[in-house]
């Protein structure tokens, strides 16, 4: 992802609650994101009227910079989250993972299989339990 602001305008980009870019001018970082919804927050300190800040992404498909399309933006009121599922094309979690995605549920019932069988999944993340028991 790339954040570019005019000289003097500082911007902070947070992804899923973690700051990934902070400062002024053109900044960029390479991140590998799991497929699924992510919380993206861009906080800009505008120092001059009329200045602009841009947030652009590149994908491994073509490497072209592009803005985040409007149809990919959601209200923060929509539920998001889950565990990151790392999918392996092997039943024993071996080899390079083929897919990483945020799974809202831990389950092995799929409408459409994410990979051909046999495959394995390693889920990681945190689970909040509001009560004991």
Q: Could you tell me how far CA 41 lies from the centroid of its own chain?
A: 11
> pLDDT tens digit string along 105-128?
887 777 788 888 899 999 998 877
* pLDDT at residue 78, rounded to an integer: 53
* pLDDT at residue 79, rounded to an integer: 55
Distance CA 28, CA 26 (A): 7
Alpha carbons within 13 A on the beta-carbon side of 67: 6
**How buried is residue 91: exposed, middle or buried, by Cβ count under 10 Å (0-12/13-18/19+)?**
exposed
> pLDDT tens digit string along 37-77?
788 888 887 777 777 777 888 777 777 888 877 776 666 55
Bridge partners of residue 13, in order along the sequence: 21, 42
Residue 53: CB atoms within 10 A of its CB come to 17
């Amino acid at each position: 992802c790339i954040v570019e602001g005019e000289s003097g305008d500082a911007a902070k980009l947070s992804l899923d609650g973690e700051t990934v870019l902070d400062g002024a001018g053109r900044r960029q970082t390479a991140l590998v994101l799991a497929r699924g919804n992510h919380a993206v927050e861009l906080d800009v300190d505008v120092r001059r009227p009329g200045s602009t800040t841009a947030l652009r992404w590149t994908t491994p498909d073509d490497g072209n910079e592009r803005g985040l399309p409007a149809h990919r933006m959601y209200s923060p009121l929509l539920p998001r989250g889950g565990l990151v599922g790392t999918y392996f094309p092997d039943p024993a979690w071996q080899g390079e993972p083929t897919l990483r995605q945020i799974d809202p549920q831990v389950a092995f019932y799929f409408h459409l299989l994410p990979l051909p069988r046999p495959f394995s999944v390693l889920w990681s993340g945190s689970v909040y339990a509001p009560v004991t028991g």
